[in-house]
Amino acid sequence: MKNLFCIKNLCILFVGATIFTSCNLFKKKPEKSSSTGWTYNDKNGSGFRVSKEKEQKTGPGLVFVEGGTFTMGAVEEDVMRDWNNIPRRVTVASFYMDESEVANVHYREYLYWLDRVFMDTAITNRALPDTLVWRSELAYNEPYVEYYFRHPSYNLYPVVGVSWKQAYDYCLWRSDRVNENILYEKGITNKKAELQKQMQGGGQDNFNTKAYLLGEYQATPGKGIKKYQDPLTKQVPTSISFEEGIILPDYRLPTEAEWEYAAYGLIAQNPNPRRSEKRRGEELTANKQVYPWAQNVNGLRDARRSSWQGQFLANFKRGSGDNMGVAGGLNDRAVIPGPIKAFYPNGFGLYNMAGNVSEWVADVYRPMTQTDGEDFNIYRGNKFQRIDLSTGKAERDSMGRIKYRDETEDEVKNRRNYQKGYVIDYLDGDSLSAVQYGYGQTTLVSDKSRVYKGGSWNDRAYWLSPGSRRFLEEDQSSSMIGFRCAMTRYGSQEGNGRKTGNWFGTRKQNNRKRN
């Protein structure tokens, strides 16, 4: 019996040793640098840390828009004789875009945060939408002045009365709040301590993404930050870097090219798109679209045989005095802007890229933009800046944001790719072009004129085409203009889980003997 007990113990020890050895055998070895041979993320290596994050996460409210080439510009007869959107083939890189327009409730959340953190009426008032845009000398719209923005019935209706500048500021705020929440959820920062600090900081001491990454905002670390300790020294950092792949890029206004490309949703016109990594797609577009929808591409109603047949595909004005049709058979069932997810989404899953409200885009307006710019990521509006280091380090402004300054001509005079910091008027209004825009004298176009697109609830069908374009000064607003945000896509142009470039399997060389 004693011998049996000893044999049993020996067996247990043998099995344990085998399992232990197996664990060591199958333990994943640290990744090595193909450049130096040193290991990454290894206490026995150089200590260099490389993030395991491989894909860019999709931010709240966004959908992925796979980029490509398309003909940007007019697709209908230029009945307005503006001659401001000459067709031109361009390429747009993949990006993300809001599924729908920014709604009243989203914008009120922004105002609440400003009021809570800064407790400064002047700051909050600068961000308030201009509800007086609803007024007209010969119309009774006072109820909309009072109720459209704040009544809960309109929570998920698009915010209007917001200027381009206000929309731009909202994007900055949204970027910081999204990244701040990501750090909370991953336990990298302490949510309770951070919120308390912001309430007591007098406004300036609030989370800003750039300030955090530069070390100018000292966040209260959470328990989750231990995951990012130095593999060599075991020192726990006070913050993480952008290289960890946790922080998202900035929310921003889409460029005109991005907006127009996204509006068409051309992927729905491809009869055989790539659906997996193993199956390639076709380079094919079946139809030339006038409007954003893939069904009845040249018409305004759903043409499919179903209960939807004949329904209007957008919220617009059918004709003079006809904003929604006849009682009992309303055509678009909306007299002013409708809910942000009403009507059918386009091929990319984007709602109301025609009608409902027109939308601000990032570009400065010029009549000939499509013929003057680059054919890749075309955009007018660049004003190149650098972080202001005049005091020897990065500083924050009264809103808690990092201060920037314009680049001087002396700083860029030796560059090949650009020679001026201010290039909004490049070759179209500057000294090199010999063209001058006398704003208020001979034209209404200036460097503050911003493009808006898409048509609205009060527009005729002509303006619903993504190629149409109009402009308004960046500090003005309208009851017919709202906005949505976009975000740059890093990595694979086909989205997460897809590779970049065409990959070919390794093949053995031809080993046949030569004569």
Give the C-alpha distances (Å, rounded to integers) separating 124 from 115, 194, 204, 282, 326.
6, 22, 14, 51, 42
Whether residue 22 is predicted with pLDDT greater than 80 in this model: the reply is no
CA angle, corner 114, sides to 109 and 118, nearest 5? 155
pLDDT tens-place string over residues 201-226:
667 789 999 999 999 999 999 999 99
How far, in Å, are 40, 231, 269 from residue 45 at the CA level?
A: 7, 8, 52
The Cα 31–Cα 297 span in angstroms is: 51
Res. 300 pLDDT band, cuts 50 70 90: confident
Full 3-state SS string of 129-149: CCHHHHCECCECCHHHHHHCC
E strands in 192-292: 251-252
Phi/psi of residue 112, nearest 5 degrees: -60, -45
Integer Cα distance of 361 and 256 in angstroms:
6
Instruction: Look at residue 299 and tell me whether its pLDDT is greater than 90.
Output: no
Instruction: State mean pLDDT over 176-181.
Output: 97
pLDDT band at 56 (very low <50, low <70, confident <90, very high): very high
What is the Cα–Cα distance from 148 to 166, expressed in whole angstroms? Answer: 18
Q: Where are the domains of the chain?
A: 58-188+246-377+448-488
pLDDT score recorded for residue 469? 94
Q: What's the pLDDT score for residue 337? A: 97
Q: Is 170 exposed, middle or buried (0-12, 13-18, 19+ CB in 10 A)?
A: buried
* Alpha-carbon span 474 to 490, nearest angstrom: 29
Q: pLDDT class for 14, splitting at 50, 70, 90?
A: low
| Lookup: tokens for 119 | 């407790």
pLDDT single digits (tens) 77-127? 777 777 788 889 999 999 999 999 999 999 999 999 999 999 889 999 999
Residue-level pLDDT at 16: 56
Question: Which pLDDT value is given to residue 7?
Answer: 59
Mean pLDDT lowest among 217-226, 276-285, 369-378, 475-484: 369-378
pLDDT for the residue numbered 114: 95
Is 0.75 topped by the overall pTM?
A: yes
Instruction: Reply yes or no on whether the pLDDT at 18 is more than 90.
Output: no
pLDDT confidence of residue 470:
95
Sequence-distant (≥ 6) Cβ neighbours of residue 138 within 8 angstroms: none
Q: Considering only residues 202 and 190, tell me which one the structure prediction assigns the higher pLDDT.
A: 190
CA-based nearest residue to 207, from 169, 253, 175, 241: 175
- DSSP structure class, residue 396: B
User: What is the end-to-end Cα distance of the chain in Å, rounded?
Assistant: 76
Average pLDDT in the chain: 89
Average pLDDT over residues 291-299: 86
Question: Does the pLDDT at position 3 exceed 60?
Answer: no
pLDDT in the model for residue 82 = 75
Percent of the chain with pLDDT over 70: 91
**E strand or H helix at 330:** strand 329-330
According to DSSP, the residues that pair with 461 across neighbouring strands are: none
Neighbour tally for 268: CB within 10 Å: 22
Look at 30-44, 99-113, 423-437 and tell me which has the smallest mean pLDDT. Answer: 423-437
Both tokens assigned to 129: 């939408």
Residue 91's pLDDT is 96
Q: Phi, psi at residue 53, to the nearest 5°?
A: -70, 125
Strands (E) across 347-422 are located at 358-364, 385-387, 404-406
Mean pLDDT of 59-78: 92
- Residue that wins the pLDDT comparison between 304 and 323: 323
Residue 304's pLDDT band, with cuts at 50, 70 and 90, is confident
358 confidence band (pLDDT: 50, 70, 90): very high
pLDDT higher than threshold 90 for residue 129: yes
Q: What is the arithmetic mean of pLDDT over 467-487?
A: 97
pLDDT of 5 strictly over 90: no
**138 phi and psi angles, rounded to 5 deg:** -125, 40
Matching CATH number, 58-188+246-377+448-488, of 3.90.1580.10, 3.40.50.1400, 3.10.150.10, 3.40.190.10: 3.90.1580.10
- Within 10 Å of residue 253's Cβ, how many Cβ atoms? 23
Q: Of 158-172, 271-285, 500-514, which gets the smallest average pLDDT? A: 500-514
Tell me: the pLDDT tens digits for 386-417?
999 999 999 999 999 999 999 998 999 999 99
Helix (H) or strand (E) holding 95: strand 95-98
Amino acid at 345: P
Q: Is the pLDDT of residue 305 over 80?
A: no
